[in-house]
Amino acid sequence: MTFSCGVSERMVEELYLNINPLQTAGKTHAETRKAIFSWIDGYAVCDACKGSLRTMDKPPIRAFLADVSAFLGMEDAMLTNGAREAKFAVIHSLTEPGDWIVADGNAHYSTLVAAERNRVDVVRTATAGAPTYEVTPEHFAEALDTAEDARGTPPALAIVTHVDGSYGNVVDAAGIAKVCHDRGVPVLLNTAYSTGRMPVSGKELGVDFIACSAHKSWATGGGNAGILALSGAYRDRVLRYSVDNPVKPLETLGCSTRGSAVVALIAAFPYVRERVSHWDREVAHAQMIVKMLEDAGGFFILGTRPKRHDLIAMETPAYDEIAKTHKKRGYFLAKDLKACGIVGIKPGRTKQFKFSSFGLTDDQARYLAETFIDIKDRYDTR
């Protein structure tokens, strides 16, 4: 059985190990699926609504927002349609068209597009370049000081990618936040690949906003959901209410994620809280896979070392060599992986690609590394 082209059938997680970094930490648990199924119809969360989604007790959205704020070490939280909508809301609240903000050189495109939609320039920091692509507090200091000298005004905001989606680097968020705050710049931490997977405390890191992707990292599945957690001096500039409709938060147009998606998020939260406490196991799997691949030869890990995240990017010249003569060209790799029960890398890519080991068992993590190595060896005719 293969992927369906239509809409009635998709059996990826049931039949394969899906190592797509976008998807590994968004998989739902049985209880979450049950909750989604129970709450799917129409505006079901509105059954008992008195006008304000964020203060609802049936389902327990008010309690969830309090719990999740505490979980993230922040003072308050809003439901959003996703991490990108959370970033847009903060930029929209803190900037005027023509302002500028700073973002790291590994920022996701949605950070840039959220700024562009607000007609705000983005100055991006340098990175250390290949092979680590590291972004440091010093990169931020340099970008902030140079751009402020050139532009004459300070930036309205810094958006810091906690863990980037290209290399899985975990930045020194506390160090970067200090550099920004020393210059009077509020800090939004984009945690699409961190909160929900690994422990994150906004208080310890000293950030003003945390944007979370429920579908990417909170085991919430594919409804649209995100969280914007807020603290400190800029909180009320973002979590502000309509003048004429004073229970409706302006930046979420009253209600944001308002159906089974928020129910899924609430249902998944106990699992997420528990799994975050086992982050060391996820890091150990990633480090084991990296070691096995590097010991085998022909695999070069990109990003900072030691590996501290499940998102693993690598250069694979060995595969690229095979692609040159293989009748399926670069597509052999995705095909061979699929034959071994593994999906989720971009078909056609052999020079460099990324994958995620999140949520694998010990045996699955080992099997994944062994399969990568076996496929390389299979074509080794030397």
* Residue 245 touches a second copy, criterion: CB under 8 A: yes
Minimum separation from the CB atom of position 204 to a second copy (A): 28
Asked if 2 interacts with a second copy (CB under 8 A), we say no
Q: Round to whole Å and give the CA distance between 285 and 102.
A: 34
By CB under 8 A, residue 146 contacts a second copy: no
Pick 112 or 126: Cβ nearer a second copy:
112
Of 52, 67, 75, 92, which one interacts with a second copy (CB under 8 A)? 92
Torsion (CA) 26, 13, 257, 260 in degrees, nearest 10? -130
Site for a second copy in 258-277 (CB under 8 A): 258-261, 263, 266-267
Distances (CA, A) of 187 to 35, 38, 162, 226, 363: 35, 38, 11, 18, 40
Within 176-235, the residues that bind a second copy by CB under 8 A are 215-216, 221-224
User: By CB under 8 A, which span of 58-66, 131-139, 300-308, 371-379 interacts with a second copy?
Assistant: 58-66
* Binding positions for a second copy, 3-22, rule CB under 8 A: 3-13, 18, 20, 22
Residue 55 touching a second copy (CB under 8 A): no
Of 110-118, 131-139, 179-187, 278-286, the segment contacting a second copy by CB under 8 A is 110-118
Q: Report residue 293 CA to chain centroid gap.
A: 25
Q: Which of 15, 113, 126, 174 binds a second copy (CB under 8 A)?
A: 113
What is the CB neighbour count within 10 angstroms for residue 96? 9
Q: Which tokens hold the place of 55?
A: 């203060």
Task: Identify which range of 38-46, 147-155, 161-169, 177-185 contacts a second copy by CB under 8 A.
Answer: 38-46
Interacting residues of 5 by C-beta distance below 8 A, sequence separation 6+: none
For residues 132 and 137, give the distance between their C-alpha atoms in angstroms, rounded to a whole number.
15
Site for a second copy, residues 62 to 91, rule: CB under 8 A: 81-82, 84-85, 88
Residue closer to a second copy (CB basis): 155 or 221: 221
Cα–Cα distance measured from residue 379 to residue 382, given in angstroms and rounded to the nearest whole number: 9
The least CB distance from residue 66 to a second copy, in Å, is 15
Q: Give the whole-angstrom CA distance, residue 345 versus residue 102.
A: 31
CB 324 within 8 Å of CB 332 = no
Q: By C-beta, is 117 or 329 nearer to a second copy?
A: 117
Q: Do 137 and 179 meet the contact criterion of CB atoms below 8 Å apart?
A: yes
| Smallest separation (angstroms) from a second copy to the CB of 306 | 27
Count of positions on this chain that bind a second copy (CB under 8 A): 78
Residues 252, 80: Cα–Cα separation, whole Å = 7
